[in-house]
Amino acid sequence: MRKTLPLSPMLMAIAIGVVLSPWDSANAQQAKKTPADLLKEAKAVFKPLPDKMPGSENDTEAKIELGKKLYFEEKISINGTQSCNSCHRVDENLGGVDNLPTSKGAEGKFGGRNAPTTLNAGFHIAQFWDGRAPDLAAQAKGPVLNPIEMGMPDEASVLERLKEAGYADLFKKAFPDAEQPLTYDNFAEAVAAFERTLITCDRFDDFLNGDEDALNKRELSGLRVFMKAGCVECHSGALLGGDRYEEMGEVEAYANKEDVGRFEVTKKEEDKFVFKVPSLRNVAITGPYFHDGKATTLEDAIKQMATLQLGEELKERQVKTIAAFLGALTDKERVPKKRKKGE
């Protein structure tokens, strides 16, 4: 009787019709790593968010309080219906956005781009999707005078509204050394001072700071896939993005060709369809996604990004585990509460 030799693992896989792809084999090796191993790898790529934003060393309580009041002030819109918070909602522990594809202005018109979050915004390389504003103060000046957004005709009209609303003394308190405290520059600087306080803290920070139990098994698995797939090529550092510009559709062209991105600012051919890479901090609560708000869910955004930027077709389970990891980047105070049965 002829002796049957045992099949090798590869031959066994072929015999039963299952062959692991290089991707699956790599993931299998990754899955063997302990949380301590993963933490060591993560620290080489990511950083916890700093405690303070650049520029905050000059902020005072009076300036921050004035900025907060101005952030919620609707009188700085043409018809008194809209504030900064209308499109960048930080009330009710929301994610610094309005969760619309593009935002509706004071007179009902919609803008052309998705409203970025103001949470952690002062850490970014620049402001707006195309980086046209170098900092928070420069950004704060734009929407108020934009005819589609808040629609005020000029700076003088804004200052007159603020005088009528009784802001003069608050500006004097916030800018005690200024010969003329109530100016448009000081308005923008006060708003920026408030926005510099919008720093979030999440469980991924805890993990990076050494708490190996901060992420659950599924989130750890998602972190492994996130790093292995190459997402960290653009989404790394403290913000997991926000520190560079990239072409939208580096491997496969993006469908929306109407918005040419940073080209509008630089007029350089190489900047066509280039946008600031968004930070992934709080990404689970800031949808819809992309500069045009066309990706309706986080899973859809992950799947599209893998195809457009990396040329990878992620499996459904990989997408879901990455989404689980990204959920751990939500500010602890802003994690959506689970509804009880019947609510």
pLDDT of residue 22: 44
What is residue 30's predicted lDDT score, i.e. its pLDDT?
52
- When pLDDT is cut at 50, 70 and 90, the band that residue 195 belongs to is very high
Mean confidence (pLDDT) of the chain: 92
* Predicted confidence (pLDDT) per residue in 273-316, tens digit: 999 999 999 999 999 999 999 999 999 999 999 999 999 999 99
For residue 31, name the pLDDT band (cuts at 50, 70, 90).
low
Measured CA to CA, the distance from residue 151 to residue 111 in angstroms comes to 12
Q: Which of 61, 74, 92, 149 is catalytic?
A: 149
Convert the pLDDT of each residue in 168-184 to its tens digit.
999 999 999 999 999 99
| Closest listed residue to residue 221, CA positions, set 317, 90, 336, 290 | 317
For residue 33, the model assigns a pLDDT of 76
What domains, with CATH codes, occur in the chain? 21-49+201-334 (1.10.760.10), 56-195 (1.10.760.10)
Q: Is the pLDDT of residue 209 over 80?
A: yes
pLDDT in tens, 107-121: 999 999 999 999 999
Closest CA to 328 of 213, 241, 243, 232: 213
Check if 149 is active-site: yes
Q: Please report which confidence band the pLDDT of residue 29 belongs to, taking 50, 70 and 90 as the band edges.
A: low
Residue 102, pLDDT score: 98
Burial 59-93 (b: 16+ CB within 10 A, else e): beebbbbbbbbbbebbbbbbeeebbbbbbbbbeee
Band (pLDDT 50/70/90 cuts) for residue 336 is: confident
Which of 31-35, 69-73, 226-230 comes out lowest in average pLDDT?
31-35
Q: What's the whole-number mean pLDDT along residues 250-278?
A: 97
Between 130 and 340, where is the model more confident?
Answer: 130
pLDDT at residue 56 in the model: 97
- Tell me the CB-side half-sphere exposure of residue 334, using CA atoms within 13 A: 26
Distance CA 187, CA 160 (A): 12
Distance CA 138, CA 277 (A): 19
Retrieve residue 320's tokens: 């879901």
Helix (H) or strand (E) run with residue 27 in it? helix 22-31
Dihedral sign (CA 151, 106, 73, 193)? negative
As a whole number of angstroms, the distance between CA 260 and CA 35 comes to: 42
Closest by Cα among 274, 267, 290, 287 to 330: 287
